[in-house]
Chain A
Amino acid sequence: MELFRIKNDIPFMSYGRLTTTISLVTFILAVFFLATRGLNYGVDFTGGTVMEVNYPQSANIDNIRQAVDSIGLKDATVQNFGTSHDVLIRLPIKKGMSIAQLSEKVSSALKAADPQADVRRVESVGSQVGEELYENGGLALLLVCLGIMAYLAIRFEWRFAVAAIIANMHDVVIILGFFAFFQWEFNLTVLAAILAVLGYSVNESVVVFDRVRENFRKMRKANAVQVIDNAITRTMSRTVITHLMTQTMVGSMLLFGGEVLHNFALALTIGILFGIYSSVLVACPIAMWLGVNRANLIGDVEKKPTDASAEVAP
């Protein structure tokens, strides 16, 4: 089976203005939602307590809420998740009560209200831990960007490095934008997913750039636009198939992974979808506008084309 039957190169670069404009609009929208709605940070970041409670019968949310209210925790949110038997209780940090005391008090109140309540998971995080997470998360993001840029600059050229980072940071911002818009919980695993996406979608740009470099060697008569168009067209099949495979795995996580992996898989899904788009249709136009050409990519020493058949640019 072969899905892609492309005779001539698709002139992607002539759509460059359009694709980057679309990107810019999504980007601005993402920033807008981030600014107006903000992220719905999980307890990992804000501090506080999350408790997952299971009941053998359908859980009575009102009773649970009453039980939590009765010990003076009015700020708690109680909601079903997954099945009607599972309840998630979120409690903000309470002044004058240590996180250890808090979860203990709630457990005993729940047990008093319904002895069959089974507290299956508790996550309590103090405020100082959350603050550090911001710092470490930001630092990790910065380090990944610098590391990738340095590698691409050495292996390819600074123009590619800049283009790839812009394209991929734009993916990160868009994922964050989605999380802000839908107010999905942003927790540690989502942060991990974002960093993984960053590595993964740079990977995507690298495959195209690699082809661009190769084409500059082989297609000696073609100009930069033709070279890039050919590179994207020739790698398109691989791009789509690879992402389909990765997304299949991520989809399987969405289906079977349960509550803990749900947002992780969600972040990856958005990252993969936008990753395809941005690493090809944003990174390449930017690299082109920055002035990528044969001379600065393979130097002055021009090698002879290795394969005569590749000389013929379609």
Chain B
Amino acid sequence: MNRYPLWKYILIAIVILIGLLYTIPNFFGESPAVQVSPAKSTLKSDNALLQKVENTLQLASIPFNGIYLDATGVKVRLANPEDQIKAKDKLNASLGKDYTIALNLLSQTPNWLLAIGAKPMYLGLDLRGGVHFLLQVDMKAALDKAAESSVGDFRTALRKEKINYFGISREGQLVVVKFDNAAEANKALRILSKDYPDLTYAVTGSGKDLSLTANMGLASQKRTQEFALKQNLQTLHNRINELGVAEPIVQQQGFDRIVVQLPGVQDTAKAKEILGRTATLEIRLVDEEKTDFATMEKASNGQVPFGDELYKDRSGRPILVKKSVVLTGDRITDAGPGVDGQNGSSVVNVTLDGRGAGIFKNVTRDNVGKRMAILLIEKGNTEVITAPVINEEIGGGRVQISGMANAQEATDISLLLRAGALAAPMEIIEERTVGPSMGEENIKRGVHSTLWGFAAIAVMMVIYYMAFGGVSVLALGVNLLLLVAILSMLQATLTLPGLAAIALALGMAIDANVLINERIREELRNGNTPQASISEGYKNAWHTIVDSNVTTLIAGLALFMFGTGPIKGFAVVHVLGILTSMFSAVLVSRAIVNLVYGYRRKIEKLAIGQIYKA
């Protein structure tokens, strides 16, 4: 009765073998590496890049242990951190313009293991060190901005159709166009609702108060918000690429939040500066009709002419800029520093997308000789970066901005332009930084807790249940093995609470074996034969084990659903630990017991410790 069919033993052996295969990558350690990945979406990581990297390193005679190409880029494994830094500098010099060069760590797992997808567990920030940010997107601002751009669109549309309107403005998220006669208002309604069908329109009032209001519908609001979040995600991606982080995570969380994780980043101030830069860019025309001294004087004292706004340029000179926005930063597809061919001064070359190019062409044609201001809006402050004179009509979407003080400024501004603008401002609402030494210490803490706890349990189990205690400990060992293997397979993020969950899972999983052993003792106490006691003991314990594990599972699932970050990590391990313990505590321990006792003819006694018969 205590024999498993052969297939069961084989199945268990295979599971344990797979467990071993997927667990060992965690023991190989990591070696320093440099990662080269394209900084622009137009560039691909392909064999040509691999060749380039290889050549660069060979030229600089930096030895490397391996070079790999994957979806994200090229990774080079190096012998020591000195070579790593040297390689990074060399690669930065030769490829740094178009590619992100980052320091990374590569697992020393042999290739045959990598080939079957066996990788070490993915360590969370609290274990490897790094920064975690949670950013909140200001959705109201996104909607305001959308309404503001409708104001501009309406103005253009009404002008094109030569409709006489009295005034146009944004009130909250409503766009209000004022008219003085109903015929014009109705004409406007017809045209606008045809051109911009997303909005809902209403004509209200009469006489002097006659106005047309346009309101964003719920669907359109939702779309605007989704778009804003997507654009912010993209912008953050671009900005982080500039930082040169090996494996950054930029993810949406909920409908208005973004998680950014930068493993290994030490310079949090720099990271924060780049992320928190809520810069938006706008291109507007300078009001050239009001540059006389008297108007400027008045404007400085607060009497800004209607339709204008007063800003200061980089050297602090006041400048009057029209309120209407020609272009926003989201129309910019690329920007880079350059040198003017004629006078050798530093410039920024900007490329605009199709729609941006069209608008830009029209505006420059109509405004030759006037100045155009590029405004940087950052944390509520608006600054005119530069206000170059428009020399000629500019078509084709390629724009050269002159007036840079030096090459550094050209680089800075192009970085700002290229990193793109945010569709809506964001605020950091959560920050967690863990230093690298702390990460190592946390790993040590988690591992020590688990191992010492395990050792103590093993000793006590063997003392109390003798051979059966030994079997329980073996089963518990298999449980640990399988748990680590599954976590490595899933590449789930392991955090310190996750490590605690591994320890706790082991501490709880032993319950199943205690239940079984107690049941067997009880059967023996009732005078059953050893073989029958084993069989009955396992059978009776099974129902209890299932029931008690289901309740623990419910708690784990609830944690998973409502927890975020580290708690989610805890929940994942907790739930997986329960599942693996069902397998190991019941099947594995039974298989061992069967192998030990099941094939003997006659058993006098089970080595399960002293039993007092009642």
Measured CB to CB, the residues of A under 8 A from B are 1-3, 5, 7, 52, 54, 98-100, 103-104, 107, 118-126, 128-129, 136-137, 139-141, 143-144, 147-148, 151-152, 155, 188-189, 191-192, 195-196, 198-200, 202-204, 206-207, 210-211, 214, 234-235, 237-238, 241-242, 244-253, 255-258, 260-261, 264-265, 268, 309-310, 314
Contacts and interface: CB of A to CB of B under 8 A. Distances in A.
B430 A129 contact: yes
Contacts of B431: 99-100, 103, 122-125
Contacts of B430: 99, 124-126, 129
Contact of A120 (B434, B544, B612): B434
Contacts of A98: 276, 427-428
A257 B435 contact: no
B496 interface: yes
Closest 5 CB pairs of A and B: A199-B555, A249-B507, A252-B453, A126-B429, A249-B453
Contacts of A207: 515, 544, 547-548
Contact of A248 (B438, B457, B555, B612): B457
Given A195-B559, A265-B500, 7 more contacts: A52-B438, A107-B268, A189-B500, A196-B504, A207-B515, A246-B504, A248-B456
21 contacts: A1-B610, A103-B433, A104-B268, A107-B269, A121-B432, A124-B431, A140-B559, A143-B558, A152-B551, A202-B548, A238-B514, A245-B510, A249-B453, A249-B454, A249-B456, A249-B507, A257-B445, A257-B446, A257-B500, A264-B497, A309-B527
B444 to A, nearest CB: 8
A290 B88 CA distance: 72
Contacts of A244: 460
B452 A252 contact: yes
Q: How large is the interface on B (under 10, 10 to 19, 20 to 34, 35 or more residues)?
A: 35 or more
A144 B558 contact: yes
Contacts of B548: 202-204, 206-207
B515 A238 contact: yes
Contacts of B441: 258
B609 to A, nearest CB: 5
A125 B433 CA distance: 12
A140 B460 contact: no
Contacts of A260: 126, 442, 445, 496
B503 A253 contact: yes
B437 interface: yes
Q: Which of B433, B434, B574 has the most CB of A within 10 A?
A: B433
Q: Which of A104, A195, A199, A255 has the most CB of B within 10 A?
A: A199
A23 B438 CA distance: 42
B429 A128 contact: yes
B202 interface: no
A123 to B, nearest CB: 5
B500 to A, nearest CB: 5
Interface in B552-609: 552-559, 561-564, 566-567, 570-571, 574, 609
Nearest to A138: B562
Interface string B256-276: 000000000000110010001
Contacts of B434: 120-121
B526 interface: yes
Contacts of B429: 99, 125-126, 128-129
Contacts of B276: 98, 100
Given A1-B464, A104-B272, A238 B526 contact: no
Given A121-B438, A125-B430, A140 B514 contact: no
A238 B564 CA distance: 35
B543 interface: yes
Nearest to A141: B558
B611 interface: yes
A41 B540 CA distance: 44
Given A103-B431, A122-B432, A261-B445, A2 B463 contact: no
A264 B500 contact: yes
A261 B496 contact: yes
Q: Helix, strand, loop or mixed for chain A's interface?
A: helix
Given A124-B430, A258-B442, A249 B558 contact: no
A189 B559 CA distance: 11
Interface string B520-552: 011000110000000000001001100111111
A211 B522 CA distance: 13
Nearest to B574: A196
Given A2-B612, A191-B567, A249-B506, A128 B136 contact: yes
Contacts of B442: 258, 260
Nearest to A103: B431
Nearest to B557: A147
Given A99-B431, A210-B544, A244-B460, A195 B558 contact: yes
B134 interface: yes
B470 to A, nearest CB: 14
Contacts of A257: 445-446, 449, 500
B614 interface: yes
Contact of A1 (B454, B557, B564, B609): B609
Interface string B217-250: 0000000000000000000000000000000000
B456 A99 contact: no
A71 B276 CA distance: 22
A1 B554 contact: no
A7 B434 CA distance: 57
A108 to B, nearest CB: 8
B120 to A, nearest CB: 22
A245 B461 contact: yes
B309 interface: no
Contacts of B503: 249, 252-253
A246 B510 contact: yes
Nearest to A236: B518
A200 B552 contact: yes
B614 A120 contact: no
Contacts of A140: 558-559, 561-563
B433 A241 contact: no
A237 B446 CA distance: 30
B508 interface: yes
Contact of A245 (B457, B521, B558, B574): B457
A128 B254 CA distance: 14
A242 B272 contact: no
Contact of B609 (A2, A128, A189, A252): A2
Nearest to B441: A258
A51 B562 CA distance: 26
Q: Which of B554, B567, B609 has the most CB of A within 10 A?
A: B554
A247 B453 CA distance: 9
Contact of A246 (B497, B508, B554, B609): B508
A195 B427 CA distance: 31
